[in-house]
Structure 1
């Protein structure tokens, strides 16, 4: 469905001479990525509304998506699996944050966040199999990802002990942890150890 939509949009733009037909593959890939991203966001936000977690989820996505764009990490083999993995991550995240909150495990959350921060700082960016990066791009992605995770980390440390914004901080922290997990899954997959 995603590929078909991307093809139709690209064909429409070529037909109307809005884009050059020589660039059709690049546009198709770009539209595929955009459609899959929007579908994932729509599904997650719909679930968050049903679970009354919209504001927290929106913050999670605002931290997770831009940083992940620059850090790279695990990518599923197709768009259905990608959506499935993202929904699974989201639901596991909700359960784990509920457990952390219930048992007052703030210290554990802070430790995991800091370990993840250091891991992201050292390991990112992880190249996507379909889009290798030049040395210049690697340096740029590294700088941007380090800047973004540092901003999020400052927000987390400012809010983790505040009753007013604790839950927001916890969701921001979980975004850093999940990005680190996705980086490690990509490393394992690239070595042939994971087939999701």
Structure 2
């Protein structure tokens, strides 16, 4: 879309100025890529917050963002190929969540507890999901897993308390955790298929 083109142009313009200042043209692509990630992230968060305000669910949007972003930062997940695709998946995820939850009342019950346990087990066993072409060390992997699980357990506790005391806002934090686990599982499955494809290709 037009916004994506604008982000690319702004990132390119700033990276050119940085390169001119540093006199190191070899780093232009690195600056450009980093700036695009920053701008895409800011645009995605702004789009979700504006959507939440438009839907009269600003608090829900904030809780969804806190839940999703804090765990996703350490859990990893599906890598959509480009920053722009990641951005569109993220924004679409919130809109889909809103459409599902807008008229849905979620009460605290044993099913919610079981589902929260399942989500945390997914993070325990599968996080972090990294890119196959950019694997991380075992030490860093353990650190990221521990952080993702710790944050997920905190959010699960907050969700349980909010729903137990009948605060509707709890469902948005719950949805954020569900969405990040969906991205996690999708990324894990995608990596399995890709690694199998690479294995068969090498055998041939």
Alignment map for 1:89-128 (pairs within 5 Å): 89-98=93-102, 100-101=104-105, 104=107, 106-128=109-131
In structure 2, stretches of 5+ residues that fail to align are 195-204
After alignment, is 71-80 or 139-148 more displaced? 71-80
In 2, Cα distance between the equivalents of 1:43 and 1:21? 33
Contact 2:37 2:83 in 1 (8 A): no
Give unmatched runs, 5+ long, in structure 1: none
Q: TM-score, length-normalised on structure 2?
A: 0.80
Q: Give, in whole Å, the separation in 1 of the partners of 2:164 and 2:53.
A: 26
Q: Which residue of 2 aligns with 1:187?
A: 188
Between 140-149 and 108-117, report the one with greater CA deviation.
Answer: 108-117
CA gap 1:180/1:100 in 2 versus in 1, 3 angstroms: same
* Structure 2 CA distance for partners of 1:139 and 1:20, relative to 1, 3 Å: farther
Q: CA deviation digits over 1:20-60, x for unaligned, max 9?
A: 55544333222121111111111111111110011111111
Q: What CA distance in whole angstroms lies between the structure 1 residues aligned with 2:152 and 2:51?
A: 26
Give the 3-state SS of the residue equivalent to 2:131 in structure 1.
Answer: coil
Cα distance in structure 2, aligned partners of 1:141 and 1:112: 22
Quote the residue 2:30 is aligned against.
Answer: 26
Displacement of 1:107 after TM fit? 4.4
Distance (whole Å) between structure 2 residues aligned to residue 159 and residue 33 of structure 1: 33
Question: C-alpha distance in 1, partners of 2:128/2:58?
Answer: 29
Residues 134-153 of structure 1 mapped to structure 2, 5 A cutoff: 134-153=137-156
Alignment partner of 1:157 is 2:153: no
Q: Alignment RMSD, CA only?
A: 2.4
Deviates more, 1:25-34 or 1:147-156: 25-34
Distance in 2, matches of 1:29 and 1:81, equals: 14
Question: Using the alignment, how far apart are the partners of 2:134 and 2:71 within structure 1?
Answer: 17
Q: How does 1:18-97 map to 2 (within 5 A)?
A: 21-97=25-101
How many residues end up aligned between the 2 structures?
Answer: 189
Aligned residues of 2:108 and 2:164 also touching (Cα < 8 A): no
